[in-house]
Amino acid sequence: MGFKINRQIIFLTVFSLSLFGLLMVYSSSCIYAWRVYQDPMYFLKRQFVFLLISLILFLLTLLINIDILRKYIKELLIFNIFLLIVVILAGREIGGAKRWIYLGSINFQPSELLKIFFLVYCADYFVRKKQVIKYFKEGILPILIVTGVNFLLLLLEPDMGTVIFWSGWLILMFLIVGVKKKHIFYLIICGLISLIVLISIYPYRLARILSYFDPWIDPQGKGFQLIQSQIAFGEGGFWGVGLGEGKQKFLFLPAAHTDFIFSIIAEEFGFLGSCFILVLYSWIFFKMVGTSLKISDDFFRYLCWGISLVLGLEVIINVGVSSGFFPTKGMPLPFISYGGTSLFVHYFLLGLFFNVTKEYEGSISLR
């Protein structure tokens, strides 16, 4: 099967996940939407509009000149840093964290834009520093300083989960671009020490970790989401209880239509349905990685690698949190979870990936 056909199949698979996401957003949010907004289709209608805008954004991304995006990526990243500062100073607080800028009826999350700007910046940086990337002072330290500025602002929101996400992403990218293994090892050690310190000095983070190991320590507090999520998995069994028949959406499972939507999928479609969704994600990921490996241009290859890793890590973290393998961290399931900013960014990234790989159409086989 040629590359062109695979591009079409990748898009159709992603679009199918988005349509399935509409179905699950309605199924998981209808009770909550009816109670809060007196409209069971409130989130469904909004997600449908988000999807239409995302598709338009995807088509526009296919037409942009990536060289121009690369040329101004430093300015765009600085603008993103400015938005993160705005969030800290005047952002809307939801659930004890300031991560959103309120624009009318839309909550905009600047940290999501890092998946575009920071990603492109890193791809460009790795190309510019290719000859010295093996040296710590010349090759690694500058990107760590830029990363540290973003991490500091994210921690002030606070959003330690996103910091951990980007730390993992950066370590994987370091492996791909050829950073020395000993430097990566030292960075991992420093990261783990920093993580322990950040957890220990904030009681709520420590409580969240403790509830991860034993959610019944605080069943009505920090362990509540994990317990309800596990109940959803248990109720679903192998075959699931059926579409719309799940009980956890009856205000038992918080964030059922956003970060924990996979739990509702597991409850209503069971182990079999959940595995099918994971197979689709895995297929998309490995096709994108296969493409990235065969791109000759360094910048485009790093860009495609970065996009592939973002999507792959998000799925692993979201599913891992929902199933209890990881501590609770708010991260949407790509293309399925409710949320405008997330959907826009993911379709933009998909558009970037297709924009890059169209240059190789007909010359790459993904068999």
Single-letter residue type at 133: I
What pLDDT score does 127 carry? 95
A 10 A CB-CB count for 285 gives 17
Name the more confident of 144 and 321. Answer: 144
User: Tokens 């990936």 map to which residue?
Assistant: 353
Reported confidence tier of residue 366, pLDDT bands at 50, 70, 90: very low
The number of C-alpha atoms within 13 Å of 265 and in the hemisphere containing its C-beta is 28
CA distance 241 to 246: 6
Closest CA to 234 of 212, 255, 253: 253
pLDDT-derived band of residue 58, with 50, 70 and 90 as boundaries?
very high
pLDDT of residue 359: 64
Report CA 214 to chain centroid distance, whole Å: 26
- Which letter, b or e, does each residue of 131-154 get, where b requires 16 or more Cβ atoms within 10 Å of its Cβ? eebeebeebbeebeebbeebbebb
Distance CA 339, CA 51 (A): 10
Q: What pLDDT score was predicted for residue 289?
A: 93
Around Cβ 158, how many Cβ atoms within 10 Å?
A: 18
Note the pTM of the prediction, 2 decimals. Answer: 0.92
Q: Provide the pLDDT for residue 99.
A: 79
For 325-342, what is each residue's pLDDT tens digit? 887 777 899 999 998 899
Confidence of residue 205 (pLDDT cuts 50, 70, 90): confident
Q: Residue 358's pLDDT band (boundaries 50, 70, 90)?
A: confident
